[in-house]
Structure 1
Amino acid sequence: MSNDNHKIFRLGVLVNPFAGIGGALALKGSDGADIREKALAQGAEKKANVKMRLALEKLTELSDNLDIFTAAGEMGETVCKEVGLKYNVLFQPQHEQTEGEDSEQAALAMVDAGVDLLLFAGGDGTARNIYHSVAGRVPVLGVPAGCKIHSGVYAVTPTGAGEIAAKMVRGELVSEQEGEVRDIDENAFRQGKVRAKHYGEMRVPHDLVYLQSVKMGGRESEELVLLDIAAHIAEWMDDHPETYFVMGSGSTVAAIMDELGLPNTLLGVDVIKNKSIIASDVSATELLNLTAQQPTQLVITAIGGQGHLFGRGNQQLSPEFIVSIGKENILVVATKQKLQELEGRPLRLDTSDPKLDDALAGSFSVITGYHDKVIYPAI
């Protein structure tokens, strides 16, 4: 585990080189090999890499903090080379004219490599491919390059996408929202009919409004924000009545327990199910035995001025327990004020297992209010 204040940011760069190729020729989309062949035969230019370049140019001054993973040729390698960014090629397409399956396989390779953000250029078809392949495993951000942009996973402009990615690389607070993946039936569209279908949601970073919505100042504001966080967790528990929730240490978690009307072990770990106490102040061994073979999620907050998620006041959360539930079942809660007090320093991981620390390192979704999240780094 690195001791530096800022970890190297792992960025996935993926381009659908044929995205938007049918737009200028009024072909109303780019899906299908026949459409792409027709567009190329009529002299259409591939513009997706041009759009991705606009985004990546915002990252060139941050290259020392970047580790880029991409696909060969026009699927990302070419544009990374053009802007002078070092990169690692993880995927090689079989044919020059790539298909949706290539985008899916490339995205999966990048996510499996542990990228903190998948930056991709394309249209709704590309977003659909990425959703099919990796869904909500990591934050994604689209660089708009397609004929159809109905999905809510795209930045407004390519430059805007680059600016948001740059904020993440610098470790600034960036909000997270659920972006819809939508696509229309291109054949129907060419007949003048718009039939949009909703496929799901992916995690999308966007510019953060730094001030809390509750602007009353001081202690009262912070207390109201904690109530918002508690309401979010309570609603989540209602949606998961069979799940065991392990409640970690810290005042933010204590506020959630207080809102639920449950006794709390401030310097210990409690387990609840369906908003009722199952066990209080459990040991590491008791926690492992209690949650074995049970759907389990951990609610945890940053402890102390250095922002420790693990290793300070919660040694009951053993490496074995953390491995058993997986990173996807760790719910991190904190107010934006608490995160801002870290002054850009990442959250700290000290599980006593360096390999586990490295596996957990990267971006976490931090619940900062009711249906309000930010993306924050941890090392």
Structure 2
Amino acid sequence: MRIGFLINPIAGMGGRVGLKGTDGLADEAARLGAVPVAPGRAVEALRHLRDSLDDPAAIEWLTCAGTMGADVLRAAGFDAVRVVHATAAIPSRDDTVAAVEAFVAAGAGLVLFCGGDGTARDVASVVGEATPMLGIPAGVKMFSGVFGVTPAGTAEVVRDWLAGTLPLATVDVLDLDEERYRAGELAMRLSCRARTPFEPTRTQTAKALVVESSDAEVKAAIADYLGEEIAARPDTLFLLGPGSTVQAVAEALGLDKTLLGVDALLAGRLIGRDLDESAILALLARNPDARLIVSPIGAQGFVLGRGNLQISPEAIRRIGTGNIVVVATPAKLKRTAALRFDTGDAALDAELAGRGYLPVIVGYRRHRLTPVAG
């Protein structure tokens, strides 16, 4: 089997520094102290795949030179590596497109990539529905349906697909306007469709935008309940995660919260808006009694690890896994089979998943126990 593999080496860099994406902002992310995360995520997935295969040498890897592929494959222990594309000094979208064209020309039966939605869109622009594709999640946000839920989960999907036990599914590749996203507007459209190996517990669905006429009333009821909890804890730091559900709750409390940022609330007033990881950690150092209010991505179920990377594993541990407050409307939960965590820290993800179920606030003093995918 020939598999084409490429990595977007800058994918995900903007997450912890609060840039909400890295396209066109890699230099700014680096200036703010961001470090590459995609190579580590790719090595994790590839090592897991190698260790799970009876004969790793049965795969011939078609890849790019250097940091866009060959270096990572060899670091993961694969030897049958053929470079079919020489990358520019600073890799770009053109390299991604040219590499995938070379993979297809060389007979790749699958294109495995590591990146986010932008990389998925570029890969899909070449393969369409002709050659299957699958993504190792490494971007700031991943709303398309071509990604595994975690690097290890992606490896298991590849293993089972190679064994012939998984079908291919046709899924949506979503195109997000990053400029509008950074300005606080969630503007998505269907870019194209693609085929991907599908296993429901290890392959994510595309993000669903859930809007129902009753949602405003439900969010107001959730806000009433949380308002009472917040008023009763004037010395507790509340971190408010991104998303329309949490924003609606904050607005009902009279707070001007950012839609896609992480904001901080103490003693009934906002003390920080659109915080990056370092600012969150600084606040937690001064306010160790803290709660995190977040809402899952519709249909996908991700509570942490998609679109909120500034809430890092270190921040989560300081807050405490028992102090994560999950809120959602019943309409969103109806389309969300399970909650998921992909923080980049496998031990932390296992701790969060180990509870089995999490109570989700769905109304005024109303909770719904929702399963957590392991």
TM-score (norm 2): 0.51
2:47 aligned residue? 57
Structure 2 residue 121 is the aligned partner of structure 1 residue 128: yes
8 Å Cα contact 2:161-2:167 kept in structure 1 = no
Q: Distance in 2 between matches of 1:205 and 1:127?
A: 14
**In the alignment, does 2:20 pair up with 1:28?**
yes
How far apart, in 2, do the equivalents of 1:20 and 1:183 lie? 16
Task: Give the match's secondary structure for 1:18.
Answer: coil
Pick aligned residue for 2:176 from 179, 184, 191 = 184
Give the letter for the 1:151 counterpart.
S
Find the counterpart in structure 2 of residue 90 from structure 1. 84
Alignment of 1:206-225 (within 5 A): 206-207=198-199
1:288-303 correspondence runs (5 A): none
Please, which of 37, 45, 55 is the counterpart of residue 35 of structure 2? 45
Q: CA deviation at 1:183?
A: 2.1
Q: Which residue of 2 aligns with 1:301?
A: none
Alpha carbons of 1:185 and 1:208: their partners in 2 closer, same or farther (altered >3 Å)?
closer
Residue of structure 2 in register with 1:12 after alignment: 4
Name the counterpart of 1:346: none
The reply on whether 1:74 has 2:67 as its aligned counterpart is yes
Q: CA deviation at 1:134?
A: 2.0
1:173 is the counterpart of 2:153: no
Q: Give the structure 2 partner of residue 344 of structure 1.
A: none
Contact 2:167 2:198 in 1 (8 A): yes
In 2, Cα distance between the equivalents of 1:208 and 1:10?
25
Report the CA distance between 1:208 and its aligned residue: 7.5
In structure 2, stretches of 5+ residues that fail to align are: 202-374
Give the RMSD, CA atoms, in angstroms. Answer: 1.5
Letter paired with 2:35: E
Q: Where does the alignment leave 5 or more consecutive residues of structure 1 unmatched?
A: 1-8, 210-379
Counterparts of 2:46 and 2:195 in 1: how far apart (Å)? 20
2-structure distance, mates of 1:206, 1:177: 6
1:43 Cα offset (Å) = 2.1
Quote the Cα distance in structure 1 between the aligned partners of 2:62 and 2:144.
Answer: 24
Q: Secondary structure at the match of 1:39?
A: helix
Displacement of 1:109: 0.6
Structure 1, residues 22-71: CA drift from partner, whole Å, max 9, x if none? Answer: 11100110111xx1111112221111111111211133243121111110
> Is the Cα–Cα contact under 8 Å of residues 175 and 208 in structure 1 kept in the other structure?
no
Query: What's 1:237 paired with?
Result: none
Report SS of the residue matched to 1:141. strand
Q: In the aligned structure 2, how far is the partner of 1:14 from the partner of 1:165?
A: 15
Identity, % of aligned pairs? Answer: 35
